[in-house]
Amino acid sequence: MTGVRYRIEARGLTQRFGRNVIFKNLNFALETGSSFCITGANGSGKSTLLKILAGIQAPSDGSVTYADISRGALIKECSSCIGYTGPLVNPYDDLTALENIYFASGRAEKSRIDSLLKCFHLTGHEDKKIRHYSSGMKQRLRIILADLNDPPILILDEPGTNLDESGRRILRSYLDSVSVEKAVILATNDRDEEKLCGRGIRLG
């Protein structure tokens, strides 16, 4: 990742459902090497905002732009420059963890896969079907899948869901280490995770 810097910028993001305004005119930008937290009550539009930032959903108004600032170029279609996961991103139940990983990537090196599995304490479980995983293991796999391709922008929706105390500790140290070289955007209501973030906004 060294030497390459990405920038993600939100301008005037507004989301409406019918006449309900969920959020209005949000402006912020962040670059690789920093982290950003989005907090707020349930239904305040955190997940929607993250989906918009990840390019999965279009906002009612405003725009999100991605740029490779080391080359000074805007990137139009950047789906593979973004790692996204959330509670609705479900791996295939009938496949093993490793098969899910190969499906999501296809080109991640074996060493990277091994180190991610080790980091999230899933080594030894990679040949089990996801059907037999506990919800905490599934959540750890979600984060592996999001970061698998080493994307410069990592967008995580409630990454601590279903994790026990040790799982949360692993997650925090992992996020701490990747935010040195990536732009990390979190939606969370966990105080300890919020502390990791340099900046943030509160919705609702």
Partner 1 sequence: MLIRQVIKSFYILMPLAILMAFLWAPSAEILGDFSRIIYFHVPLAWVSVLAFLVSGVLSAAYLFDKKQRYPWLDEKAFNSASIGMAFALLAVITGSLWAKLTWGSFWNWDPRETSIVVILLIYIAYFSLRSALAGNDRRGVIGSSYLILAMMTLPFFVFLAPRIYDSLHPETIINADRTPHLDDRMRMTLLISIFAFTSLYAYILHLMNRALAVAKRLEEEYHAAD
Partner 2 sequence: MTGMKKNCAAGGYGLVREILRNLSKDFSVEFRTRFALNVSIAFAVTATVSVSLTAGGVPFPSLVQSILLWMIIFFSAMNGLSHIFVREEDQATALFLRITMSADSIFISKFIYNQSFMMIVLAVVTPLFLFFLQVKVILISYFVLTILSGGLSIAAGATILAAMVAKAGGKGSLFSILSFPLLLPVLWVSIFATKNSLDGARPADYNSLVFLLAFSGFISAISFLLFRFVWIED
Between residue 48 and residue 77, which ones bind partner 1 under the rule CB under 8 A? 58
Q: Which of 1, 119, 178, 203 touches partner 2 (CB under 8 A)?
A: 1
Instruction: Considering only CA atoms, give the Rg of the chain.
Output: 17
Cα gap 90→110, rounded to integer Å: 23
Give the binding-site size for partner 2 (rule: CB under 8 A).
34
Residue 106: name its binding partner from partner 1, partner 2, none (Cβ under 5 to 8 Å by kind). partner 2
Q: How many CA atoms lie within 13 A of 92 on its CB side?
A: 10
Q: How many CA atoms lie within 13 A of 108 on its CB side?
A: 24
Cα 65 to Cα 53, 148, 189: the distances in Å are 9, 23, 26
Question: DSSP string of 20-31?
Answer: EEEEEEEEEEEE
Lay out the site mask for partner 2 across 125-164 (x = CB under 8 A, - = otherwise): --------------------x---xxxx------------
Query: Which span sits near partner 2 by CB under 8 A: 23-31, 87-95, 119-127, 159-167?
Result: 87-95
Give the nearest distance from C-beta 130 to partner 1 in angstroms: 27
Contact 177, 33 (CB under 8 A): no
Cα gap 31→54, rounded to integer Å: 15
Residue 78: name its binding partner from partner 2, partner 1, none (Cβ under 5 to 8 Å by kind). partner 2
4 binds partner 1 (CB under 8 A): no
Rule CB under 8 A: which residues touch partner 1? 18-19, 58
Give me the residues that bind partner 2 (CB under 8 A), please. Answer: 1-4, 54, 56-58, 75, 78-81, 84, 86, 88-95, 99, 102-104, 106-107, 145, 149-152
